[in-house]
Amino acid sequence: MRRRLLLTGAGSAATSNLMRSLRAGYRSLTIVGCHSDRFLLKKSAADRNYLVPALTHPGYFRALRRVIAREHVDLLIPTTDAEVHAFTRARVKLPCRRFLPRKAVVDLCQDKYRLNMVLRSRGVPAPATYPVSSLRSLEAIFTRLPREPVWCRVRSGSGSTGAIPVMRPEQARSWIAYWSEMRGVPATSFILSEYLPGRDFSCQAVWKAGTLVLVKTCERLSYFGGGGNPSGTSSISQLAKTVFAPEVVAVCTAAIRAIDPHASGTFNFDLRENSRGVPCLTEINAGRFPSGTSIFDLTGRSNLAATFVRVALDEPVRLRETYDPAEGYYTVRDLDTLTGVFRADELFDKIVDARG
């Protein structure tokens, strides 16, 4: 049976990578794309593409329902946090399947401070974190955190929005004041956290009705645009490698069981080691795949994105192991190029060392 998927954000890097992954792991698919930006939509590799209003437009869902009905869509896959949030609202009725976490879980995960408090209260490793109530509160928060530097960031959003390490309260004050004055982000949108100096991990998992179906892990080694960011990092890796990290899987599994014993959908986790080498969970992107999903789909025994579709459509899934570490692979990403996926022993194929 040929399945029909509708992917939002068609033409974006995240959706393009997801399409590539799905076609590699699930051959009998028709992929339909939609986007509100006609220029990005022109880049889409979907089988058919539809221009729709912006998500915030009152006609968005009406247009989406027309596309779903016309294409006989089996499964809708959102690709941004805003879409995940919108599609989990109870009043949103769509004539196709959505395989998403519950709204309460999505709401929790999209507030990094609330999520941090829940995880820490239930014994899941996460950095000590405090909300900023005003610029005057910064000195008091600094005294409560273990050591300098301190990690300052916005408590919602993705892509390391507003993130920067700071050494002193006055640095945090200037940074937050800038975001408030120039970007309209109030001081109360910021949090200050314990700085985590260790390795940076990403983990992706598929859950159904409280059962872990498949999980994969990788380590970020360098960052796309990291050198130009004040933080020097990003949630978007330029170079990443697959790793065997059962301790990371254990933390992510404990986190999902802490926030929803009956969880369903896909979850993307960001973790970084503290000074003792313990992986600490910094955020969970609930209900969507990361832009660098290739590292979880084009390596190892199982294609995670294709497994997600099969589970969402109640198709049989037979996996030898829940954890598929797929060691020894690297992904290399750059602007306007296809993500490269290489085994470690292939990295220097067709390269001549002329360094002397």
Count of structural domains within the chain: 3
**Tokens 């899934």 sit at which residue?**
317
For residue range 263-313, what is the model confidence (pLDDT) as tens digits?
999 999 999 999 999 999 999 999 999 999 999 999 999 999 999 999 999
Q: Which residues pair with 68 in a beta bridge?
A: none
Dmax (CA) of the chain: 66
Mark whether 223 and 335 lie in a shared domain.
Answer: yes
Please name the helix (run of DSSP H) or strand (run of DSSP E) that holds residue 343, with its range, or none.
Answer: strand 340-343
Tokens of 214: 């498949």
Q: What is the mean pLDDT of residues 3-32?
A: 96
Measured CA to CA, the distance from residue 6 to residue 14 in angstroms comes to 14
Measured CA to CA, the distance from residue 144 to residue 150 in angstroms comes to 11
Mark whether 320 and 293 lie in a shared domain.
Answer: yes
pLDDT band per the 50, 70, 90 thresholds, residue 337: confident
Decide if 54 contacts 24 (C-beta within 8 A): no
pLDDT band per the 50, 70, 90 thresholds, residue 162: confident
Domain assignment present for residue 110? The answer is no
pLDDT band per the 50, 70, 90 thresholds, residue 225: low
Which one of 193, 219, 234 terminates a domain?
193
Q: How many helices (H) and strands (E) does the chain have?
A: 11, 16
pLDDT score for 147: 78
Mark whether 9 and 65 lie in a shared domain.
Answer: yes
Measured CA to CA, the distance from residue 21 to residue 13 in angstroms comes to 12
The domain that contains 144 carries what CATH number? 3.30.1490.20
For residue 159, pLDDT over 80 is answered with no
Mark whether 7 and 60 lie in a shared domain.
Answer: yes
Mark whether 235 and 327 lie in a shared domain.
Answer: yes
Decide if 264 contacts 207 (C-beta within 8 A): yes
**CA distances (Å), 302 to each of 2, 3, 15, 310, 336, in order?**
20, 19, 20, 12, 27
Domain assignment present for residue 123? The answer is no
Which one of 193, 222, 247 terminates a domain?
193
- What's the sign of the alpha-carbon dihedral 141, 146, 149, 150? negative
Domain assignment present for residue 47? The answer is yes
Mark whether 76 and 143 lie in a shared domain.
Answer: no
Mark whether 237 and 336 lie in a shared domain.
Answer: yes
Domain assignment present for residue 309? The answer is yes
Nearest to 300 by CA among 252, 351, 352, 244: 244
pLDDT score for 151: 95
Decide if 4 contacts 74 (C-beta within 8 A): yes
Which one of 49, 83, 98 terminates a domain?
98
Q: Write down the mean pLDDT value for the chain.
A: 94
Cis amide leading into 197 (omega within 30)? no
Domain assignment present for residue 329? The answer is yes
Lowest pLDDT segment from 14-18, 76-80, 298-302, 351-355: 351-355
For residue 71, pLDDT over 90 is answered with yes
Domain assignment present for residue 205? The answer is yes
Measured CA to CA, the distance from residue 176 to residue 191 in angstroms comes to 10
Domain assignment present for residue 10? The answer is yes
Mark whether 235 and 323 lie in a shared domain.
Answer: yes
Neighbour order of strands in the sheet with 329-332: 279-286, 265-273, 200-208, 211-223, 237-242, 329-332, 340-343
Structural domain range at position 187: 128-193
pLDDT band per the 50, 70, 90 thresholds, residue 190: very high
Mark whether 67 and 165 lie in a shared domain.
Answer: no
For residue range 130-143, what is the model confidence (pLDDT) as tens digits?
999 999 999 999 99
177-182 long-range CB contacts below 8 Å, 24 or more apart? 177/135, 179/154
Decide if 78 contacts 285 (C-beta within 8 A): no
Q: Which residues contact 30 (CB under 8 A, 6 or more apart)?
A: 2, 3, 4, 5, 47, 48, 71
For residue 180, pLDDT over 90 is answered with yes
User: pTM for the full model?
Assistant: 0.93
Mark whether 269 and 146 lie in a shared domain.
Answer: no
The domain that contains 318 carries what CATH number? 3.30.470.20
Measured CA to CA, the distance from residue 71 to residue 59 in angstroms comes to 19
The domain that contains 61 carries what CATH number? 3.40.50.20
Mark whether 236 and 159 lie in a shared domain.
Answer: no
For residue 188, pLDDT over 70 is answered with yes
Mark whether 210 and 90 lie in a shared domain.
Answer: no
Domain assignment present for residue 105? The answer is no
Share of the chain above pLDDT 90, in %: 84
